[in-house]
Structure 1
Amino acid sequence: MSANNDTRTAPQEANAFLTRSARRAQIADEGAVLHLLGRFGLPMILVAVIVVFSLWQPDSFFSWINFNATFAQQAIIVMVALGAMIPLIVGEFDLSIGTNAGLAAILTVGLCQMQGLRPWPAIAIAVAVSGLVGLLNGLIVTRLKVNSFVATLGMATAIGGFGQLYTHQQDIPSAPTDLVAIGRAEVFNLPVTVIVALATAAVLAVALQLLPIGRQLLAVGANRRAAELTGIRPDLRIVTSFLVGGLVAGVGGALYGANLGAAGNQTGATLLLPAFAAAFLGSTTITPGRYNVLGTLVAVLLLAFTVSGLEQVGVQPWIESVVQGIALIAAVAFSSWAIRRRTLHLRNAQLALLRPTAPQKDEPTEHEGAIA
């Protein structure tokens, strides 16, 4: 009886083994496609946008003048987006980041124009004040246990009022020529603002990927309790993230004021939405589900070239706000979908290893799993 059973079950076992192997191969192929689309989907869209508008408007869009101007205009957005990204890594929001950068622009121009300071001391003071704002945000969140959304929204309102107090509710229409010369300087035909933004991005990328502080920030954002059990001090890392974010935004704001040669009280309000749109959209690419520097850069360029191309084909300037708002919503929605899809994929991979034959009626199918 035993020999007969072994003879009968051998082909079945072979078929079951082949079935499991085929399922594993299929799921692995699906996972590879999802992985490639998740990592490089946004850069591919960026390339497609550039190609389409270059063919559509070759004389105006596909030119170094347009690219150089776009890079220069987006340098401040890159800096503010990077500043917003750092607290997001640890799971906190800094809604004061745009107003903080605007305050740095006001102080840079105002200290030179109204107090007669030299450019570099004025820039240093402005960046230090922005760092102080970030530090206060971190302390309010960690010491007073105020939700970061509420704390930084209140801080944004407060420093906006201080900015108006400093300027007597008036815009500063001009800046000294030596300050403007710094803001509009070029190195190898690249604006200094672009070089500073790229250098800042490189430093942050290295710190987040290779240095202990970067790995600790990522650990706090992934699981704060688990990070604490490994010896990391979450509150200290949260304060650090707000401080660094404020400093980065301060550098961007100071250079923006120097480049513009003027400063207004509404500057910061226009920076918040594009910065967060870029940070959230960037988290859907390169390392999907994780805020990352390179993804943020790609997102900034995608939004910038999309708006630039649409404006050059005749769409009105209001399209910029529409694109940024839609991008923010789409980024959050896509990120949530990607997390659900990866969870379902892992679940199916585990089930494929357990099921010797076709799914039984009582086992969830992929469609049922997606609904669940």
Structure 2
Amino acid sequence: MAQIATPKNQQARSASNPWATAITIIRQQGALIALVLVFVISSISFNGFLTSYNILDNVLVSNVPIGLIALGMTFVIITGGIDLSVGSTIALSSVVVALTSSHGMWFALAAAVLTGLAVGLFNGFIITQMHVPPFVATLATLLGVRGLALYFSNEHNVTVMSSDLINFGNGDLFGIPNPVIVLVVAFLIGMLVLNYSRFARHLLAIGGNAEAARLLGVRVNSTLLGAYMLSGALAGLAGVFIAIQTFSGSGNLANGYELSAIAAVVVGGTLISGGEGSVFGTFVGVLLLGFILNILNFLSGAGVTLNPFWQDVVRGAFLLVVILLQSRLANKKLERV
């Protein structure tokens, strides 16, 4: 007679099986372990790696837009969905913030975030009310929103006119750049939401089994709508910071950023199939990818000839390897049950 797998005997098996223990550690802390190793090895290998300019500006500030959209993407992927439109939303929001910057910092900031929110609302409506699969819906939005960004910018760079906005984006508090503070605060709020809110519990339930969640009384459509609106709003905020970094808005900005965000989320341990995720893991994934790309820059500075397109190769390879690893670990987990 087959033994029923209970949490107690599963823990007993894990305790007596080194392979099961290793799988658990890799699933929960693999990205953090990799980040520590990359950081230590790079600190030893490259002069100037540990400087505040390199850590704060080259890694953290440069990856603030990707970090913000990765945070929103975490909540979407937890549901088993995807949002391919975030890169285009960044571009459109950068154009909006540049066009409205003459009306003041707060007006431009609100306009950009509301633009992203509107894109997220549109995605959520198409997915929940017209029953279009998330991949197809957000792929269509990616193309349409990119077209809008190019149209409103007239295919030119639009200069950001607000000196307050530029000063804020390039300012700091106690030596920590303002964009990094915004990113950390956003992730802290995200962790609180994911760990303690009913909204997050509903997202996880939908990712595990949407129909079962519906039968349990979860308002699936409104919850999904909220997830895509959150993703869009954070993409709008990311558009503000990329416009500040480049001093302009453009319809050509943030190409491929959606893939970087997905890679960071999946590297951080969120299951691409949904039902399980970690905001802290996503933050670690953003840092890990940021440091690896930073290492490529150091290698180029050391005389190693690397084509800039290798950055895309690294992102793609990371995404593929982690998805394969997730699949392998999930199969091992099922074998133990």
Rate the CA distance shift 1:289–1:303 in 2: closer, same or farther, 3 A: farther
CA distance in 1, matches of 2:15, 2:112: 56
Q: In the comparison of the two structures, how many residue pairs are matched?
A: 319
CA distance in 2, matches of 1:134, 1:338: 32
The offset of 1:216, in angstroms, is 0.9
From 105, 108, 120, the equivalent of 2:97 is 108
Rate the CA distance shift 1:43–1:28 in 2: closer, same or farther, 3 A: same
1:74 alignment counterpart: 63
2:131 is equivalent to residue 140 of structure 1? no
Which residue identity does 1:321 align to in structure 2? D
CA distance in 1, matches of 2:173, 2:210: 43
Indicate the larger mover: 68-77 or 168-177.
168-177
CA distance in 2, matches of 1:24, 1:91: 29
2:298 is equivalent to residue 340 of structure 1? no
Contact 2:89 2:232 in 1 (8 A): yes
Query: What TM-score do you get using the length of structure 2 for normalisation?
Result: 0.89
Which residue identity does 2:328 align to in structure 1? W
1:92 alignment counterpart: 81
The offset of 1:265, in angstroms, is 1.4
Contact 1:180 1:260 in 2 (8 A): no
Deviations along 1:11-55, one digit per CA (max 9) or x if unpaired, are xxxxxxxxx9xx958744432232122212221111111111111
1:259 alignment counterpart: 245
2:214 is equivalent to residue 228 of structure 1? yes
CA distance in 2, matches of 1:159, 1:24: 51
2:257 alignment counterpart: 271
1:189 alignment counterpart: 175
Contact 2:77 2:270 in 1 (8 A): no
Which residue identity does 2:48 align to in structure 1? S
Contact 1:80 1:252 in 2 (8 A): yes
Which residue identity does 1:345 align to in structure 2? R
- Superposition pairs for residues 309-320 of structure 1, below 5 Å? 309-314=295-300, 315=304, 316=306, 317-320=308-311
From 292, 302, 319, the equivalent of 1:328 is 319
Deviations along 1:243-268, one digit per CA (max 9) or x if unpaired, are 11111111121122123311221113
- Superposition pairs for residues 154-233 of structure 1, below 5 Å? 154-173=140-159, 175-233=161-219
The offset of 1:179, in angstroms, is 2.1
The offset of 1:121, in angstroms, is 0.3
The offset of 1:124, in angstroms, is 0.2
The offset of 1:318, in angstroms, is 2.8
The offset of 1:242, in angstroms, is 0.5
CA RMSD between the two structures:
2.0
1:292 alignment counterpart: 278
Rate the CA distance shift 1:249–1:174 in 2: closer, same or farther, 3 A: closer
CA distance in 2, matches of 1:46, 1:93: 25
Rate the CA distance shift 1:270–1:171 in 2: closer, same or farther, 3 A: farther
Contact 2:67 2:183 in 1 (8 A): yes
From 38, 43, 46, the equivalent of 2:35 is 46
Which residue identity does 1:307 align to in structure 2? L
Rate the CA distance shift 1:270–1:263 in 2: closer, same or farther, 3 A: farther
Counterpart of 2:82 in 1: which secondary structure? coil
Rate the CA distance shift 1:164–1:89 in 2: closer, same or farther, 3 A: same
Counterpart of 1:169 in 2: which secondary structure? coil
Counterpart of 1:150 in 2: which secondary structure? helix
Query: What TM-score do you get using the length of structure 1 for normalisation?
Result: 0.81
2:5 alignment counterpart: none
Contact 1:106 1:263 in 2 (8 A): yes
CA distance in 1, matches of 2:215, 2:89: 34
- Over alpha carbons, which structure has the higher Rg? 1
The offset of 1:321, in angstroms, is 1.2
Deviations along 1:210-234, one digit per CA (max 9) or x if unpaired, are 1111111111111111111111111
Contact 1:39 1:284 in 2 (8 A): no
Rate the CA distance shift 1:54–1:122 in 2: closer, same or farther, 3 A: same
The offset of 1:174, in angstroms, is 5.1
Rate the CA distance shift 1:83–1:340 in 2: closer, same or farther, 3 A: same
Rate the CA distance shift 1:25–1:141 in 2: closer, same or farther, 3 A: closer
Contact 1:257 1:263 in 2 (8 A): yes
List runs of 5+ in structure 2 lacking aligned partners. 1-8
